[in-house]
Amino acid sequence: MPTDTLIDAKRAARAAGLAAREAGDPRAGLLLAGHVLERFAPPPGTVVAGYWPLGREIDPRPLMLALAGRGHPLVLPVTGKRGTPLVFRRFRFGDRLDAGPFGTRQPGTGAEALSPDVLLVPVVAFDAAGVRIGHGAGYYDATLAVLRSRGKVIALGCGHAAQRAEHLPAGPHDQRLDAIATEHGVLTA
């Protein structure tokens, strides 16, 4: 697919996903947590990278809280320059978070850096093949490429069921998700 066509197709998919997200139930994160814990719980002791939700993104914090209660170390992403891999720093509920770029919340520079085994990845749109459209800055694609080059890492997309598309465009650098969790269940790609 020519680059301009790919960019336009992703832009249209992003707009549709953002519109679908606006209608999402704010309590959907509780349902998502139940589905993941039942069908896709990470192995004991694995480091899980969560995210602090922006706007109407599905809220992964109920899942993160449950995983912390099961002994999983949690990390949150720290955002650098556009398109660079994310750095993950240790997070515990109750920790102070700093304001990050784009309205994100992230641990301070004094928090321990850890490499995650499982990433909860926010989606703007997704399809059954594991293709994900994000906000367009390339952070998660760059991050997954680096982490996967080092070994096994699981990317679990998190979104509202209404954000599912029939088919999404993907370029050569786009990293696919291993599974997607919504308020309706877990779909493995």
- Convert 119-151 into a string of H (helix), E (strand) and C (coil): EEEECCEECCCCCEECCCCCHHHHHHHHHHHHC
Average pLDDT over residues 105-120: 96
Cα–Cα dist 160/179, whole Å? 14
SS3 category, 3: helix
Q: Where are the domains of the chain?
A: 3-188
Structure tokens belonging to residue 45: 């002791």
Topology at the third CATH level for domain 3-188: Rossmann fold (3.40.50)
* Average predicted confidence (pLDDT) for the chain: 92
> Residue 186: its pLDDT value, please?
97
Whether 1 shows a pLDDT value over 70: the answer reads: no
**Lowest mean pLDDT segment, chosen from 16-25, 91-100, 112-121, 170-179:** 16-25
Supply φ then ψ for residue 63, to 5 degrees.
-65, -45
Taking the model in full, what pTM does it have? 0.92
Tell me the per-residue pLDDT of 10-43, one tens digit each, with 9 for 90 and over. 887 777 787 787 777 878 999 999 999 999 999 9
